[in-house]
Amino acid sequence: MNIMRFVVPKSMVEYVVADSTVRQALEKMRYHRYAAIPVIDRDGKYVGTLRNDDLLNYFLNEGGFDSRAAERCGVTDIIDPAYVKPVYHNASMDELIERVKEHNFVPTVDDRGCFIGIILRRDILNYLLKFYKENENDR
């Protein structure tokens, strides 16, 4: 099965540019009420995912919320680039299901590593539910 049918394209996804500050990222995540957001570099390549945990750890390590310090620190300094590995556009459904078991969304990249969108856990679950119901009716 082609996993591209599940991709929410980059043009419809909120993301943070890699050279954004912690404060800019925090404001964007707060505005959209996100717990995590993809980080993309200026060339369009997927860098990682910024999570609430990354922000919390940053502020705890700083000893509190200091908006001026958050304006000087970049998001790439606080993210764990290994947290959410992207899937390639030609990944198998099995690989995709393994990834969505762990994360609310899975970043999707092309052969060059350029970010093309995300696949949401709820879309995979809805597909599997539909498949399950169809098979249940056949019994």
Edge-to-edge, what's the strand order for the sheet holding 7-9? 7-9, 115-120, 105-109, 87-88
How confident is the model over 88-115, as pLDDT tens digits? Answer: 999 999 999 999 998 999 999 999 999 9
Amino acid (one-letter) located at 104: N
How confident is the model over 118-130, as pLDDT tens digits? Answer: 999 999 999 988 8
Distance CA 94, CA 101 (A): 11
* pTM of the predicted protein model: 0.87
